[in-house]
Amino acid sequence: MFTARTGRRRRAAVLAVCALAAGLLPLTTAGPAAADDPAPVPVDRFEGEVPFAAQPAEGIFTWGSDTDDNPKLEFKERADAPEGAKVLEGSYDISGYGGFSHDYAADRPAHDWSAHRGVRFWWYGDGSGRKLTFEIKDGGAHGEASELWNTTFTDDFSGWKQVELPFTQFAYRTDYQPVGGIDHVLGLDAMWGYAVTLPVGSKSGFAMDHVELYGKADQSLRAQVATDAAVYPVREGGSAEVKLSVTTTGNVPVEDAVTVEYATEGGTAGPGKDYTPVSGKVTFPAGTASGATKTVTVATTKDRERAESAETIPLKLTVTGAKAPAETPQVVVDAHGLPYLDAKLPVRKRVADLVSRMSLAEKAGQMTQAERGAVGTGGDVAAYDLGSLLSGGGSTPTPNTPQAWAKMIDGFQLRAQATRFQIPLIYGVDAVHGHNNLTGATIMPHNIGIGATRDPELAEKSGAVTASEVRATGIPWDFAPCLCVSRDERWGRSYESFGEDPALVRSMETMIQGFQGRADGSDLDRGDKVLATAKHYVGDGGTAYGSSTTGTYTTDQGVTTVTRKELEAVHLAPFDDAVKRGVGTVMPSYSSLDVVGDAEGPVKMHGNSAMINDELKGRLGFDGFVISDWNGIDQLPGDYASDVRTSVNAGVDMVMAPYAYKDFRDDLVAEVKAGRVTEKRVDDAVARILTQKFRLGLFEKPYADTSRIDEIGGAAHRAVARRAAAESQVLLKNAGGVLPLKKSQKVYVAGSNADDLGNQTGGWTITWQGQSGNVTDGTTILQAMRKAAPDTTVAYSKDASAATDGYDVGVVVVGETPYAEGVGDVGNGNDLELTAADKAAVDKVCGAMKCVVLMVSGRPQLIGDRLGDVDGLVASWLPGTEGDGVADVLYGKRAFTGQLPVTWPKSEAQLPINVGDTAYDPQFPYGYGLTTLTKVPAGGERTLASLARAARHVHDATAGRALVARARLIVQEKAGGRVTAGWAKPFADADQLSLGGDYAGAIGKLVAAYRAA
């Protein structure tokens, strides 16, 4: 993807500015205080009594999506200050997100705000009409590990005005929580401060003064009534049991009686015809324990209609003495008797029947995908007939457990049951190397490592493990695999590619079968399969360095300039295979395509009708649906209505509009009514989407099948990941047979990536960008080495500062820290050089003893200047959570068998450099990889000739590649580590030919390399 994007990257951004867009609250201005109100309690006077500081001290501090988004603050004397002499003044120019916080001291107790009605402050308005978010923090250990609750106010006035925000208006944030939920109850007796999120847009400023607590609290601040669900589906003639509960802050008994009056009224069901009306009142007397429940029964009746769509029965609740539920619960009489509900009918007939019944608004809703964090508890799923939700990178439930994922997604699916035709949601996630948003899931090597294995069977198994873990949490759709052919390692997404050669990428597409099962889609309804996504269509791996216009990116989302022949041979070929494998969805790239000679110039892929409608759906015959990338249509030229029109007419069937889902749906409806998008185009898109929902079995089983939930992160799945990690290791140098290590050797381990699971797993791990440290459950390379050998033989000093005397061999594990997408582009604060600390560790250890250097990275790192001082060099890529796989090859439990999936350059000046280039003089060629535990065939060129003869008569891929592999070992041994341009080019060409099925041609190239060695 998607996989993430500028918007997603900014997803945290939309953090607060958009978080409550669905329920903006009116501005409350200060009124006269009641006689028995407690005296106001100051929080901030901005006279300097609270300094600019950050935790653990008490203080005011700024934050933002980048340094430019942090507002500038000062305490400034003003004659018009509402209170005291100074106010807080600030200026800002925010493109992502930004604001400021006041946190109480972390080493002192939280504050108690429970005696008060709300918080108020003076704000100097500019009349812009922009909305700002005010957030309060409760519970947890301190202000940055607390629950977040927020509301909004509107700057629609000029000059000073006192803004009052009653605590009853604050809502729990569903889009983001720093540590996950604590208890989801606004605990005003344990407050840690507040924050203000400033609006995105034009440069502006603000002034604020005298934040204080005001008014007297009432019980509605400490007690609330809730229902056990928002939607209660029942079969016609059945009864719904609506459970009402009362809870209090601190779980204390209610002080005063709480009453709930209820009545069935409104909705689409007919009283007396479809259900028996009910009304009445229930009372929770004073002293009732927190958590007490009472039940209201709503009985439906059977009518004479044999076939009906779903009908709703709202149960209106009027609460006295406590906070009422956030929304009115609805009983839903299930749709029944309609042809599309008949699982025995062919899918095409079910689809045709359902599409024929839907309104334009319902169809547009099916074409809309929203981010889970934007829809809160999910009321908009029914209100906007949404067809899909997603979790972007790092968008997780709280707690981040398999059970919580399943419960969350079931809750959203329940919302879809309140729509007229009860069309289930299709929920998607970027599980690009395992269920990587889920803590404790099995994390596979990134695709570049899978490409290094040259093992199609293993690629399929890794896809199957991912699919099983994803589906077990209720998610039926994965935005993977990435079929990009990475042509420049400066690209921040290069590790998402299987390699630089389309033949290698195509060979790894067995992963699609791992995800989906059989190509005809007949396995999709299984509890261990998911719908796959081929991305990013087309040419994203070929974007030119410096061509990106997205922020500070240099390569990602740029322009791919190719001839038509190059386009078909390099970038289109993998998608042709994916279509033949039955891939269910395809995602366009953010990038632009410029086909030489077509006179069109660069065309954004999200609006490229020639490539989506004509090529993908026409010539290639793709019958699934096309899903846009995160806010991908926003990058098209023109206004938003134009973006909608252009992308849908170009063939995009579902639009990922994470926070703009209302605008997309409404604008699409308007475009159709205006005749700028045909309803035929909409019907085609909806039919494609519904086809996959039926194939997935979602109409029959919309909720999570958790029968495999205990397998997530289990031994069987981790064994596959361990094997993948082992096979992905590429041995580039092995002077003096330094590898494999012996368990009896005393080993000195150093380097930044030896004991860092976050660096080892890379980007797209728990969060979009990933992060260093202990981010999930797994085994670091150091831990694995200590498991493989006696504890006394493996010592560790991260920076190599410990004494190096007395060791037999050193292992220095260095490389990159996590990144994703354009954030990782070289030139965007990144390069291909080791850090100074890593270089120092290599120099010290390799200067003191025999040494092996492991490169844990998403792309080649430049080490040519140190290569002569290194005995062993391993490209470890990003091996995932199973460091044991790396230890397996280091200690000889498994042989090194990996081959380079990309060319390893000598210098950054050589980039881009790829197999097949006319001038080709790399540090190590594509396909290179030494082995251990394998005897090299004797006989030299005579044996090569014999292998060449045998290859002319081989048509089986396994046998043919085995012949080439034997020849490759002979040629590598002859070279003895001396890589010259004359040797490297035919050697790399051989691997490309072998992957393409020309085994005799491959060995012929290897003979040429042998003679050049």
Catalytic residue numbers read: 629, 821
Q: Using an 8 Å Cβ cutoff, are 609 and 650 in contact? A: yes
DSSP state, 769?
S
Q: Using an 8 Å Cβ cutoff, are 852 and 887 in contact? A: no
DSSP 3-state percent helix, strand, coil across the chain (nearest 5)? 30, 25, 45
Q: Using an 8 Å Cβ cutoff, are 245 and 261 in contact? A: no
Q: Which H helix or E strand runs over 125?
A: strand 118-126
Count of alpha carbons within 13 angstroms of residue 256, beta-carbon side: 13
Q: Which of 1000, 820, 893, 963 is nearest to 11 (CA)?
A: 820
658 vs 23: CA distance, rounded Å: 16
Q: Using an 8 Å Cβ cutoff, are 242 and 227 in contact? A: yes
Q: Which of 969, 957, 999 is nearest to 456 (CA)?
A: 957
Sheet holding 872-877, edge to edge: 730-734, 872-877, 850-856, 809-815, 747-750, 794-796
Classify burial at 295, counting beta carbons within 10 Å of its beta carbon; exposed 0-12, middle 13-18, buried 19 or more.
exposed
Number of H helices, E strands in the chain: 25, 38
449 vs 727: CA distance, rounded Å: 8
| Six-digit token string for 765 | 């791990």
Length of the chain counted residue by residue: 1013
1013 vs 1008: CA distance, rounded Å: 9
What lies within 8 Å, CB to CB, of 868 at 6+ separation is: none
702 vs 717: CA distance, rounded Å: 25
Q: Which of 534, 598, 588 is nearest to 564 (CA)?
A: 598
Q: Using an 8 Å Cβ cutoff, are 622 and 691 in contact? A: no
What lies within 8 Å, CB to CB, of 549 at 6+ separation is: 557, 558
766 vs 179: CA distance, rounded Å: 13
Widest CA span of the chain, in angstroms? Answer: 105
Give the three-state DSSP class for 348: helix
712 vs 709: CA distance, rounded Å: 6
Q: Which H helix or E strand runs over 354?
A: helix 347-357
SS (HEC) of 580-607: HCCCCEEEECCCEEEECCCCCCCEEHHH
Which segments within 140-278 are labelled E, that is strand?
A: 147-155, 158-166, 171-172, 191-197, 204-214, 223-227, 231-234, 239-248, 258-264
Classify burial at 1003, counting beta carbons within 10 Å of its beta carbon; exposed 0-12, middle 13-18, buried 19 or more.
buried
For β-strands 592-595 and 603-604, DSSP reports them as: antiparallel
CA distances from 235 to 306, 441, 701, 966 (A): 13, 37, 15, 66
DSSP state, 616?
I
